[in-house]
Amino acid sequence: MAIELTPLPLPASADPSKFVDFGREVKGVSPGSLTPEQFEEIKNALYKHDALLFRNVDLTPEQQYTLTKAFDPQSESYGHGNNKTESTQKSILHPDLKTIPRVPQVQLIGNGTVYNHEGLAEAMLKHPSHTTFHKTRVSLEDEAKGITRFYRWHIDAALYDLSPPKVTTLYGLQVPRGPNQICRYDDGTGEEISVPLGTTAFVSGKTMFDILPRELQSLAVRTKVKYAPHPYVWMAPSHAMPTGLGIETEGLELPFEQLPPWEESKRKILPMTWKNPVTGNLHFQVHPCGVAELLIDPLPEGSTREGVLYPDGARITDLGEVRSLLYKMQRPAIAPPLVYPHDWHEKDLVLFHNRGVLHTVVGAFTKDQVRAFHQCNLAASDDPAGPTEEDVKKYA
Ligand SMILES: [Fe+2]
């Protein structure tokens, strides 16, 4: 049977014209036992469509690891490295992760208490919620009515020393059902979006780049992003924006000298746009929470300077300035018509192009709503490629 790709069902909030290429359900193939030829097809489909859904899948942790690793055969360790090391104890990611003992690259995530699970006698899981991360929170009254927020828009990546994983696989084993929630932006726009309970929301980094006005596209192809050392420890005392798209500038980040030992050479400096290895498209890929500096190249020789921002290049180190510029560039792409909130069913397997999308946890569960997912991604064997010289000339 040939592999069949069909568009993902979109919610009423989505603008279908912005999802022509984004997302496919894959049928006619078993993701746990792909032939090399089938895998090549799946790999191409992932880079073309950024998110692939397989329904009703049986997948062991070993099979999930094998599938994830096939996208980058030289990758080995979990995307965030060994999250049990002392140096990341204070990281905001630490409490969210439980490792499958047999296959430590696969993490058990979810909500509630899970018993006798793949060698784990008892795992207490907590669905991350905006209430512990944002500067402000939805009131208890509104929360009781099913109002919620995006938790944290991100790329899965350590952003220090290790390279961002190419793909993340998410496999839903236990999925509590419940009424939709209303995810509010609470940023003065009045925007909100109806989402399935416990959705994972995705936006396309390609769309994020494509919808920018010319002057910001020019800036995007000329800019590199420098992340803080141990960014998740650095940001731990700070609070996020109500949209979950970056950090409020309140001066709460840990001073660099109070971080676990770090080396300048291990800090990540990554292009603002990442080149899709199959389509050649540029994806705006920035994890806004961890950014410390923006390094802007001057315009290439012969380009017109009219209306151009930072034509002679710049290094922006003021956190407030860094963040407001990034927010201006990223916020348009998380508007409700551009968000794909996945409606999880048990045995759904979603593969997403971690170098082509941003995603976030959404919503809140009660303690007795048990949710169990297996997640796998691997620190990549290389850093993402940025725009080519031609890309810079085209957009600068
Ligand atoms: Fe993630």
Q: What is the pLDDT of residues 5-54, one digit of tens each?
A: 999 999 999 999 999 999 999 999 999 999 999 999 999 999 999 999 99
Residue 107: the pLDDT is: 95
Residue 86: the pLDDT is: 40
The Å distance, Cα 95 to ligand 1 centre, comes to: 14
Q: How far is CA 338 from CA 5, 41, 48, in A?
A: 21, 27, 17
The Å distance, Cα 294 to ligand 1 centre, comes to: 23
Q: Which residues contact 239 (CB under 8 A, 6 or more apart)?
A: 133, 134, 135, 247, 248, 250, 252
The Å distance, Cα 6 to ligand 1 centre, comes to: 24
236 touches 90 (CB < 8 A) = yes
The Å distance, Cα 156 to ligand 1 centre, comes to: 5
The Å distance, Cα 141 to ligand 1 centre, comes to: 28
**203 pLDDT above the threshold of 80:** yes
* C-alpha closest to that of 385 among 263, 235, 251, 279: 279
Q: How far is CA 129 from the centre of its chain?
A: 16
Helices (H), the chain: 36-49, 61-70, 140-144, 205-210, 214-222, 231-234, 319-330, 389-395
The Å distance, Cα 312 to ligand 1 centre, comes to: 36
Residue 367: the pLDDT is: 87
Phi-psi region of 163 (alpha: psi -120 to 50; beta: other; left: phi over 0): beta
The Å distance, Cα 285 to ligand 1 centre, comes to: 14
Torsions phi, psi of 146, nearest 5? 95, 20
The Å distance, Cα 25 to ligand 1 centre, comes to: 20
CB atoms within 10 A of CB 194: 16
Residue 113: the pLDDT is: 93
The Å distance, Cα 170 to ligand 1 centre, comes to: 9
Average pLDDT over residues 88-111: 79
The Å distance, Cα 340 to ligand 1 centre, comes to: 15
Average pLDDT over residues 305-330: 97
The Å distance, Cα 55 to ligand 1 centre, comes to: 20
The Å distance, Cα 263 to ligand 1 centre, comes to: 25
The Å distance, Cα 148 to ligand 1 centre, comes to: 18
CB atoms within 10 A of CB 348: 20
The Å distance, Cα 169 to ligand 1 centre, comes to: 10
The Å distance, Cα 190 to ligand 1 centre, comes to: 26
**363 pLDDT above the threshold of 80:** yes
**88 pLDDT above the threshold of 60:** no
Q: How high is the mean pLDDT of the chain? A: 95
Residue 386: the pLDDT is: 98
The Å distance, Cα 157 to ligand 1 centre, comes to: 8
Q: What's the chain's length in residues?
A: 396
The Å distance, Cα 389 to ligand 1 centre, comes to: 31
Q: Which tokens sit at 155?
A: 């790329």
The Å distance, Cα 310 to ligand 1 centre, comes to: 33
The Å distance, Cα 200 to ligand 1 centre, comes to: 9
Q: Which tokens sit at 75?
A: 């990758």
The Å distance, Cα 45 to ligand 1 centre, comes to: 21
85 band by pLDDT with thresholds 50, 70 and 90: very low
The Å distance, Cα 375 to ligand 1 centre, comes to: 9
The Å distance, Cα 153 to ligand 1 centre, comes to: 8
Residue 80: the pLDDT is: 80
Average pLDDT over residues 229-249: 97
The Å distance, Cα 206 to ligand 1 centre, comes to: 18
Residue 78: the pLDDT is: 80
The Å distance, Cα 304 to ligand 1 centre, comes to: 40
**Neighbouring-strand partners of residue 362:** 150
Lookup result for tokens 């499958």: 100
The Å distance, Cα 354 to ligand 1 centre, comes to: 9
92 band by pLDDT with thresholds 50, 70 and 90: low
The Å distance, Cα 317 to ligand 1 centre, comes to: 27
**240 pLDDT above the threshold of 90:** yes
Give percent above pLDDT 70 in the chain.
95
Helices (H), 59-168: 61-70, 140-144
79 band by pLDDT with thresholds 50, 70 and 90: confident
Q: Which residues contact 131 (CB under 8 A, 6 or more apart)?
A: 137, 138, 143, 364
Rounded-to-integer distance, Cα 72 and Cα 86, Å: 28
1 band by pLDDT with thresholds 50, 70 and 90: low
**84 pLDDT above the threshold of 70:** no
